[in-house]
Structure 1
């Protein structure tokens, strides 16, 4: 049997004011930075690269938040918390705009269903890891659990 899974990473990037970094995607609207892990690349290196490419920002990964899987396309998404460590905003084909927003603003700005669900989990993470499986079209969570960190 041949296994083909794709892995993506995303980061909830916060600054010293506890604001969240969002970028405006041309297809999904406002979202947090992230993208696909390239062959031979670590999860951490992929996230640092994606954040830099999409926003111009340098980050330090501070924690693991959760994981979710698209059961229709075999894509595993892994979410981390990060803190801003430098850099200036840039835009690209993947990011039409980049800005810091308050936590309460973030959920109002993010409207794409999967992105919003993952952001809700990121914002509510506190000594627990979220794990959910979903169908993307139409978006539906088919199973969800929160697990404590450690034993």
Structure 2
């Protein structure tokens, strides 16, 4: 059997005012920054690169939030929390607009079903890690759970 999974990473970036960084994608509307991990690249390097490319922000990864898998396309999405440490916000080919918003506004701005579900998980983290599996077209959660770290 040949395996053909793809991996993406995303980060919920916080600033000192406890606002989160969102970008407006040409394809999916408002979302948090992230993208595909390139061959030979670490998850952490991919996340830092994607955030910088899409928003201009420099970040420090502060935590692991969760993981989800598209069972139709075999894409695994890994979500992290990040702290803004510098850089000037800027748009790119992948971002029409970039801005800081409060958490409630973020939930109202993000409308793409998968992105909204992941954002809800990102904003409700605590002592648990989220794991869910989904079908994208139409969006449907197939299995989901929250797990504690450790044994």
Taking structure 1 as the reference length, the TM-score comes to 0.99
Who is 1:140 aligned against?
A: 140
Alignment RMSD: 0.5
Aligned mates of 1:130, 1:105 — CA distance in 2 = 22
Who is 1:103 aligned against?
A: 103
Aligned mates of 1:27, 1:111 — CA distance in 2 = 12
Aligned mates of 2:57, 2:150 — CA distance in 1 = 31
Following superposition, the deviation at residue 106 of structure 1 comes to 0.4
Measured against aligned partners, the alpha-carbon deviations of 1:95-127 in whole angstroms (never above 9, x if no partner) come to 000000001110000000000000000000101
Aligned mates of 1:106, 1:149 — CA distance in 2 = 27
Following superposition, the deviation at residue 7 of structure 1 comes to 0.0
Structure 1, unmatched stretches of 5+, are none
Q: Provide runs of 4+ in structure 1 moved above 6 Å.
A: none
Measured against aligned partners, the alpha-carbon deviations of 1:41-75 in whole angstroms (never above 9, x if no partner) come to 00000000000000000000000000000000000
Aligned mates of 2:150, 2:96 — CA distance in 1 = 39
Following superposition, the deviation at residue 92 of structure 1 comes to 1.1
SS of the aligned residue for 2:118 comes to helix
Aligned mates of 1:125, 1:134 — CA distance in 2 = 19
SS of the aligned residue for 1:61 comes to strand
Aligned mates of 2:122, 2:89 — CA distance in 1 = 22
Who is 2:22 aligned against?
A: 22
Q: Number of aligned residue pairs: give it.
A: 151
Following superposition, the deviation at residue 93 of structure 1 comes to 1.4
Taking structure 2 as the reference length, the TM-score comes to 0.99
